Amino acid sequence: MSGEISMIGSVILALFLAGYLGQQYLPPPTPKVIGLDLGTTFSSVGVFHPGSGEVEVIADEEGRMSIPSTVSFTSAAVLAGHEAVELADRNQQNTIYDAKRFIGKIFEPGVLEQESARYPFQVINNNGSAEFLISTNHTFAVSPEFIGSRLLLKMRKMAERQLGTPIQKAVISVPAEFDERQRNYTVRAADLAGLEVLRVISEPTAAAMAYGLHKVDVFNVLVVDLGGGTLDVSLLNKQGGMFLTRAMAGNNKLGGQDFSQRLLQYTRERVQQEFGVPPTLKEDIHRLRQAVEAAKLKLTLHPSVTISVPLHLQIYNSSESPAPILFHAVVTRKLFEELNTDLFQKILAPVETVLKEGHVEKEDVDEVVLVGGSTRIPRIRKLISEYFQKEPNTSLDPEMAVVTGVAIQAGIMGGSWPLQVSAIEIPNRQLRKTNFS
């Protein structure tokens, strides 16, 4: 009798152990929904791994975490990302970038003609919508959503290769200021890439989620997104598990490019002082620009850097090019900050506007989130932390914050989140963005 009981007991224990061990050693389910950040200049894809509870930003074959948002057409192929950029110099008029600026928008007559003049490719007007004119072995027009679809397809393939499984579902982020039509056309781009969009979330909401702010007790979240060419500031309000965009403001002519430009101007003046002539050759300016860009990045980590650039300068009138002269300059972080004082200061105007329009005092902002590569600049971080009298959330790479948040939302939509509140957004139809520039 007791033997029987103990035998049943052993069986139950064995079954229990088998189940337990099975659970322990079963490979965690593969993510089925990807998170997409379709950016103006760079795009990224990420997934949420339910097993580890971590977000993986998916790298391409070369280990790069984002692809340039560029698509290039040849008579033989359509290339997206780095491959398109490699081709850009030889195929300028058929290499399209910045398509996000045009997606789903209706333009007033004349505006697209002006836009077209800014680009090496042709932007045409199709009844108010932008299209790009491509001339390979024949001439045809493509839409901004088609360009988007090629980037999304590339990222879908990157994810499928990494995960070893077909992917058909996605969550995608869009700028907070995108209206319903722009959101719809972004969804259409995904559709063309064979992806069903389960949810569209705004970029500042994604950034807040990347920091886990959908799970903690916060009310007002301010997101500062400073990229290469634009500044976007959003005030979010969390109510229950939902984020509501309370106010938006920005400056679409302020970003990293402008800070680099100031440093470039400074080095040009130094060259003039030292050699008596300004750098005018295209290649010289190109080299200086690259050196300045690299110096700017290094100055976020180091108090000073040395710029060293070989220049050909047209000092002599000879037809054969003279031997290069080496130009050296030491640039300190302090100098870089001084050259940009007024530009850095401009960041605060839209911050003040969103607080005013959102009827929130700066003391009532619970968390500040920084997004975009230019928020790595130490002086900018200091400016913002001094203004709010608190440290901003900066533990993530500011260029990966949006894709990280979108991937978390994708994990929630995929059902792999361990039953936590999902942050959803309340649509903000009436909201207008204030622009300083």
Ligand X SMILES: *[C@@H]1O[C@H](CO)[C@@H](O)[C@H](O)[C@H]1NC(C)=O
User: Of 233 and 305, which has the nearer Cβ to ligand X?
Assistant: 233
Instruction: Indicate whether 212 belongs to the interface with ligand X (CB under 6 A).
Output: yes
Q: How far is the CB of 317 from ligand X (least distance, A)?
A: 4
Instruction: Indicate whether 318 belongs to the interface with ligand X (CB under 6 A).
Output: no
364-367 contacts at long range (C-beta below 8 A, 24 or more positions apart): 364/219, 364/220, 365/220, 365/221, 365/222, 365/235, 365/390, 366/218, 366/219, 366/220, 366/221, 367/208, 367/211, 367/213, 367/218, 367/220, 367/221, 367/222, 367/392, 367/393
Q: How far is the CB of 360 from ligand X (least distance, A)?
A: 18
Instruction: Indicate whether 281 belongs to the interface with ligand X (CB under 6 A).
Output: no
Choose the stretch contacting ligand X; rule: CB under 6 A; options: 142-150, 180-188, 233-241, 272-280: 180-188
Instruction: Indicate whether 211 belongs to the interface with ligand X (CB under 6 A).
Output: yes
| Distance in angstroms (rounded) separating the CA atoms of residues 59 and 57 | 6
Judge contact between 234 and 222, C-beta under 8 A. Answer: yes
Nearest to 119 by CA among 150, 88, 146, 81: 88
Instruction: Indicate whether 421 belongs to the interface with ligand X (CB under 6 A).
Output: no
Nearest to 351 by CA among 236, 274, 248: 248
Q: How far is the CB of 179 from ligand X (least distance, A)?
A: 7
| Distance in angstroms (rounded) separating the CA atoms of residues 114 and 181 | 23
Kindly give the residue spans of alpha helices, DSSP state H, lying in 346-418: 348-357, 378-388, 401-413
Q: How far is the CB of 31 from ligand X (least distance, A)?
A: 22
| Token representation of residue 63 | 């280990």
Q: How far is the CB of 160 from ligand X (least distance, A)?
A: 25
Instruction: Indicate whether 2 belongs to the interface with ligand X (CB under 6 A).
Output: no
- Signed CA dihedral, 295, 296, 298, 303: sign only: positive
User: Of 52 and 75, which has the nearer Cβ to ligand X?
Assistant: 75
What's the gap between Cα 341 and its chain centre?
25
Tally Cβ neighbours within 10 Å of residue 296: 22
Q: For residues 120-132, b (16+ Cβ closer than 10 Å) or e, as one string?
A: ebbbebeeebbbb
Instruction: Indicate whether 317 belongs to the interface with ligand X (CB under 6 A).
Output: yes
Write the interaction track for ligand X spanning residues 33-72; mark x where CB under 6 A is met and - where it is not. ----------------------------------------
User: Of 225 and 367, which has the nearer Cβ to ligand X?
Assistant: 367
Instruction: Indicate whether 128 belongs to the interface with ligand X (CB under 6 A).
Output: yes
Write the interaction track for ligand X spanning residues 106-125; mark x where CB under 6 A is met and - where it is not. x-------------------
How many residues bind to ligand X according to rule CB under 6 A? Answer: 17
| Active-site amino acid positions | 37, 100, 203, 225
| Token representation of residue 214 | 């959908």
Choose the stretch contacting ligand X; rule: CB under 6 A; options: 5-13, 19-27, 179-187, 275-283: 179-187
User: Of 52 and 317, which has the nearer Cβ to ligand X?
Assistant: 317
Q: What is the DSSP-derived secondary structure letter of residue 43?
A: E
Give residue for tokens 């505006």: 111
Q: How far is the CB of 189 from ligand X (least distance, A)?
A: 13
Residue 14, C-beta contacts closer than 8 angstroms, at least 6 positions apart = none
Q: Which of residues 75-94 bind ligand X (CB under 6 A)?
A: 75
Instruction: Indicate whether 430 belongs to the interface with ligand X (CB under 6 A).
Output: no
Instruction: Indicate whether 432 belongs to the interface with ligand X (CB under 6 A).
Output: no
Instruction: Indicate whether 184 belongs to the interface with ligand X (CB under 6 A).
Output: yes
Candidate list 51, 265, 391, 427; residue touching ligand X; CB under 6 A = 391
Write the interaction track for ligand X spanning residues 339-378; mark x where CB under 6 A is met and - where it is not. ----------------------------x-----------
User: Of 299 and 369, which has the nearer Cβ to ligand X?
Assistant: 369
Judge contact between 417 and 48, C-beta under 8 A. Answer: yes
Q: Is 404 helix (H, G, I), strand (E, B) or coil?
A: helix
| Token representation of residue 48 | 């949420």
Q: How far is the CB of 290 from ligand X (least distance, A)?
A: 27
Write the interaction track for ligand X spanning residues 296-315; mark x where CB under 6 A is met and - where it is not. --------------------
Give residue for tokens 């060259």: 271
User: Of 118 and 282, which has the nearer Cβ to ligand X?
Assistant: 282
* Contact set with ligand X (CB under 6 A): 75, 106, 127-128, 137, 180-181, 184, 211-213, 216, 317, 367, 391, 393, 395
